[in-house]
């Protein structure tokens, strides 16, 4: 069985008034990754030495960016929580990936590196990518006494000179990251103030994960929202429908066809998504109903989790049924009250109540239109008739 290490650098899901955090290094176990992200409430994770099977492990509600390595066991990934926006920076260096993260009080640049013992690299290639609020976290396989190792090596001396040259600060952790030796080879550097590191005694890798906390960054969840141009999305699907049908008939294996089509849909949605800023986020339901729904979800997960392992808890089942019925009634009451409030608002601001009512609704409910009516090919304009 292939053994891979991870390095995680997570920023947790905290309220806008709380500081953020990050972490590094564990094994490519899907369940372990999910437990880590949940227990640390991680919003950004970095994994190093992920190997060729990196995409067989998924973390729910995360977008994953990957860069291949120099060997079958190399490669590095950065996972960004979907409530944040991750933008990959174009860089074609093996075992190195750079992602800018928006959705915090300031934009943060994450540089993740895996530097295997047999690879030679020029650190100067990264200097132009170091900007304000940069965090570099990596499995450097480099030892420096000042950074927690019992001895120093040539790679460590080169790395130390490069870090000092670029005015980066080493983020110390509580203990060495390696389980097999006294070396501290998983290192994090930053030019971001108020940053601290903690080694976590968890995970199944031969390296301990490291949590990085930053007091100068807070979440700003209500500032950036994705907007997908669904009309353009539908139009492109309509234009390419015949192509995908021919691909399916051509004899392409079903699994390969499905994988390519799913990737196409994801890429198309990403291409047609614009992130816009909003001054205020208005949830569809009031806080007390959102809290009730979260409680229903917790009880439901508990019930189905126990039932899966053949534990039948009648008390949990009755509680889930009662909570579900209660929240449905409360949501119906809330929607009714909002509808009455809307009607009252329309009637108060217009003399002709009936006409004003239908005029108002006409602005909300519009007839469905086709994605496009004409197509410009460059030499001619095609319509439905021809």
Residue 295 belongs to a domain: yes
Last residue of a domain, one of 170, 192, 218: 218
Determine the pLDDT at residue 119: 79
Determine the pLDDT at residue 194: 81
Q: How many domains, the chain?
A: 3
Residue 80 belongs to a domain: yes
Residue 279 has pLDDT above 50, yes or no: yes
Distance CA 293, CA 310 (A): 26
**pTM of the model as a whole:** 0.56
User: Are both 189 and 47 inside the same structural domain?
Assistant: yes
In terms of C-beta density within 10 A (0-12 exposed, 13-18 middle, 19 or more buried), how is residue 185 classed? buried
Q: Which two tokens stand for residue 369?
A: 């239109």
User: Are both 108 and 171 inside the same structural domain?
Assistant: yes
User: Are both 204 and 59 inside the same structural domain?
Assistant: yes
Residue 380 belongs to a domain: no
> Beta strand pairing status for 108-114 and 134-139?
parallel
Summarize the confidence of residues 11-23 as an average pLDDT.
40
Is 15 or 342 the better-scoring residue by pLDDT? 342
pLDDT digits (tens, 9 = 90+) for 24-55: 544 444 444 555 555 556 788 888 888 777 77
Summarize the confidence of residues 307-318 as an average pLDDT.
85
pLDDT level of residue 328 (50, 70, 90 thresholds): very high
Determine the pLDDT at residue 2: 26
Residue 265 has pLDDT above 90, yes or no: yes
User: Are both 148 and 233 inside the same structural domain?
Assistant: no
User: Are both 37 and 129 inside the same structural domain?
Assistant: yes
pLDDT digits (tens, 9 = 90+) for 127-151: 999 999 999 988 887 878 887 777 7
- Which domain CATH number covers 156? 3.60.10.10
Do residues 136 and 168 make contact, with C-beta atoms less than 8 angstroms apart? yes
Distance CA 369, CA 107 (A): 39
Last residue of a domain, one of 176, 197, 218: 218
Which domain covers residue 304, as residue numbers? 287-364
Determine the pLDDT at residue 213: 79
Residue 303 has pLDDT above 70, yes or no: yes
Residue 10 belongs to a domain: no
Residue 350 belongs to a domain: yes
Last residue of a domain, one of 171, 187, 218: 218
User: Are both 133 and 184 inside the same structural domain?
Assistant: yes
Determine the pLDDT at residue 9: 39
Determine the pLDDT at residue 12: 34
DSSP lists the bridge partners of residue 385 as none
Contacts of residue 245, defined as CB under 8 A and 6 or more positions apart, other chains included, come to none
Residue 6 belongs to a domain: no
Determine the pLDDT at residue 365: 59
User: Are both 57 and 126 inside the same structural domain?
Assistant: yes
Summarize the confidence of residues 78-103 as an average pLDDT.
88
- SS3 of the chain: the string is CCCCCCCCCCCECCCCCCEEEECECCCCCHHHHHHHHHHCCECEEEEECCCCCHHHCCCCCEEEEEECCCCCCCCEEEEEECCCEEEECCCCCCCEEEEEEECECCCEEEEEEECCCCCCCCHHHHHHHCCCCEEEEEECCCCCHHHCCCCCCHHHHHHHHHHHHCCCEECCCCCCCECCCCCCCEEEEECCCCEEEEECCCCCCCECCEEEEEEEEEECCCCEEEEECHHHHHHHHHHHHHHHHHHHHCCCCHHHHHHHHHHHHHHHHHHCEEEEECCCCCCCCCHHHHHHHHHHHHHHHHHHHHHHCCCCCHHHHHHHHHHHHHHHHHHHHHHHHHHHHHHHHHHHHCCCHHHHHHHHHHHHCCCCCCCCCEEECCCCEEECCC
Residue 295 has pLDDT above 80, yes or no: yes
User: Are both 144 and 181 inside the same structural domain?
Assistant: yes
User: Are both 90 and 154 inside the same structural domain?
Assistant: yes
pLDDT level of residue 280 (50, 70, 90 thresholds): low
pLDDT digits (tens, 9 = 90+) for 212-239: 878 777 776 556 678 889 999 999 999 9
In terms of C-beta density within 10 A (0-12 exposed, 13-18 middle, 19 or more buried), how is residue 212 classed? buried
Pick from 21-30, 294-303, 348-357 the range whose average pLDDT is largest: 294-303
Q: How many residues comprise the chain? A: 386
Question: Over the chain, what is the mean pLDDT?
Answer: 77
User: Are both 298 and 230 inside the same structural domain?
Assistant: no
User: Are both 39 and 182 inside the same structural domain?
Assistant: yes
Residue 383 belongs to a domain: no
Determine the pLDDT at residue 11: 38
pLDDT level of residue 1 (50, 70, 90 thresholds): very low
User: Are both 137 and 266 inside the same structural domain?
Assistant: no
């Amino acid at each position: 069985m292939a053994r891979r290490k991870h390095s995680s650098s997570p920023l947790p899901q905290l309220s806008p008034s709380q500081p953020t955090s990050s972490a590094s290094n564990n094994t490519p176990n899907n369940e372990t990754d999910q437990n880590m992200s949940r227990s640390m409430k991680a919003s950004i994770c970095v994994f190093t030495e992920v190997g060729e099977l990196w995409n067989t492990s998924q973390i729910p509600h995360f977008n994953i960016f990957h860069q291949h390595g120099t060997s079958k066991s190399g490669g590095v990934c950065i996972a960004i929580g979907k409530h944040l926006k991750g933008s990959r920076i174009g860089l074609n260096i093996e075992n190195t990936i750079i992602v800018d993260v928006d959705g915090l009080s300031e934009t943060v640049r994450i540089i993740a590196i895996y530097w295997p013992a047999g690879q030679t690299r020029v650190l100067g290639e990264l200097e132009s990518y170091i900007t304000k609020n940069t965090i570099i976290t990596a499995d450097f396989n480099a030892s420096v006494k000042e950074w927690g190792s019992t001895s120093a090596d040539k790679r460590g001396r080169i790395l130390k000179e490069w870090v000092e040259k670029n005015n980066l600060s080493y983020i110390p952790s509580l203990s060495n990251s390696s389980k097999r030796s006294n070396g501290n080879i998983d290192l994090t550097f930053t030019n971001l103030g108020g940053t601290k590191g903690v080694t976590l005694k968890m995970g199944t890798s031969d390296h301990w994960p490291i949590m990085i906390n930053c007091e100068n960054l807070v979440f700003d969840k209500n500032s950036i929202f994705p907007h997908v141009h669904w009309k353009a999305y539908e139009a492109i699907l309509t234009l390419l429908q015949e192509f995908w049908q021919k691909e399916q008939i051509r004899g392409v294996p079903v699994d390969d066809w499905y994988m390519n089509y799913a990737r196409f849909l994801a890429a198309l949605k990403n291409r047609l998504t614009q992130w816009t800023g909003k001054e205020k986020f208005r949830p569809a339901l009031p806080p007390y109903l959102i809290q009730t729904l979260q409680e229903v979800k917790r009880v439901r997960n508990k019930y189905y989790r126990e039932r899966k392992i053949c534990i039948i808890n009648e008390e949990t089942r009755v509680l889930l049924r009662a909570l579900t019925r209660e929240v449905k009634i409360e949501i119906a009451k809330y929607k009714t009250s909002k509808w009455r409030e809307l009607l009252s608002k329309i009637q108060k601001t217009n003399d002709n109540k009936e006409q004003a009512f239908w005029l108002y609704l006409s602005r909300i409910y519009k007839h469905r239109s086709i994605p496009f009516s004409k197509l410009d090919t460059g030499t001619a304009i095609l319509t439905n008739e021809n």
